């Protein structure tokens, strides 16, 4: 199995454990650390990075070559969109929908889907391509899972901060690809010099090099 598939499954397991934290259920109906997102909806959005994968694997793939990972983000309308943009409102509604049956049901669904993916992902061929309807365009399976891995790692931190528990610690093999992707996206957004300075020269660091 490819390293990115292993990393994705590692982060997915960690996300399921976080969703099962009692603090998540206790604060389910409270606001989260993200604007306009409740804890339950944010939990649903985190879970969607697992729950949505089987449908992507099952979807027919359109003709044409897959786009590259950075091209995927360059084409997307969601990156940097304001909180009240249509795409972000839809994301929040989807998270709320997944959370509608409560925390225990969400954990059960997510854990069951993860068990399914543990059996499915290693069997997929290295060259496997999937269609991303939200694009719409295609990605290699590994690039698609890299996007889900980033979402899992970033939103696990959001959820942990929201409910007052430690952010899950992941092995380097899982967090490394996320840091690489975020750095590349930050360079695309801000340029090489600001990112270089933020990482190496405090006296010349810009106020932000946020990638998202």
How far, in Å, CA of 95 to CA of 100, rounded?
9
pLDDT tens per residue, the chain (212 residues)?
999 999 999 999 999 999 999 999 999 999 999 999 999 999 999 999 999 999 999 999 988 899 999 999 988 877 777 888 888 899 999 999 999 999 999 999 999 999 999 999 999 999 999 999 887 899 999 999 999 999 999 999 999 999 999 999 999 999 999 999 999 998 988 999 999 999 999 999 889 888 88
Buried (b) or exposed (e) across 147-172, using 16+ Cβ within 10 A?
bbbbbbbbbbebbbebbeeeebebee
Which pLDDT score is estimated for 117?
98
Which pLDDT score is estimated for 205?
85
- Measured in degrees and rounded to the nearest 5, phi and psi for residue 138 equal -110, 155
Determine contact, residues 12/19, Cβ cutoff 8 Å. Answer: no
Residue with tokens 């992941």: 170
How far, in Å, CA of 42 to CA of 33, rounded?
9
Residue with tokens 């992902």: 121
Which pLDDT score is estimated for 63?
81
Which pLDDT score is estimated for 80?
76
Determine contact, residues 185/70, Cβ cutoff 8 Å. Answer: yes
Neighbours of 209 (CB within 10 A): 20
Summarize pLDDT for 59-104 with one digit per residue, the tens.
999 888 999 999 999 888 777 778 888 888 999 999 999 999 999 9
Which pLDDT score is estimated for 27?
98
Closest of 139, 7, 133, 131 to residue 72, by C-alpha: 139
pTM of the model: 0.94
Buried (b) or exposed (e) across 76-86, using 16+ Cβ within 10 A?
beeeeeeeeee
Name the fold adopted by 3-171: 1.20.120
Query: Which sequence spans correspond to the domains of the chain?
Result: 3-171
Determine contact, residues 207/190, Cβ cutoff 8 Å. Answer: no
Residue with tokens 């929040």: 92
Residue with tokens 């380097």: 172
């Amino acid at each position: 199995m490819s390293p990115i598939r292993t990393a994705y499954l590692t982060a997915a397991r960690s996300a399921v454990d976080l969703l099962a934290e009692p603090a998540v259920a206790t604060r389910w109906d409270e606001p989260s650390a993200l604007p306009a997102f409740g804890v339950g909806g944010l939990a649903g959005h985190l879970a969607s990075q697992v729950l949505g994968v089987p449908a992507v694997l099952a979807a027919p793939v359109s003709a044409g070559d897959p786009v590259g990972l950075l091209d995927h983000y360059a084409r997307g309308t969601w990156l940097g969109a304001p909180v009240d943009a249509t795409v972000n409102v839809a994301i929040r509604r989807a998270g709320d929908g997944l959370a509608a049956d409560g925390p225990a049901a969400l954990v059960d669904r997510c854990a069951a889907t993860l068990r399914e993916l543990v059996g499915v992902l290693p069997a997929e061929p290295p060259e496997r391509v999937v269609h991303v309807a939200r694009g719409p365009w295609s990605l290699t399976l590994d690039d698609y899972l890299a996007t889900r891995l980033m979402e899992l790692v970033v939103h696990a931190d959001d959820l942990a901060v929201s409910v007052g528990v430690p952010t899950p610690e992941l092995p380097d093999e899982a967090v490394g690809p996320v840091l690489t992707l975020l750095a590349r996206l930050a360079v695309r957004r801000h340029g090489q010099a600001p990112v270089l300075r933020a990482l190496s020269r405090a006296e010349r660091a810009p106020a932000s090099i946020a990638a998202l």
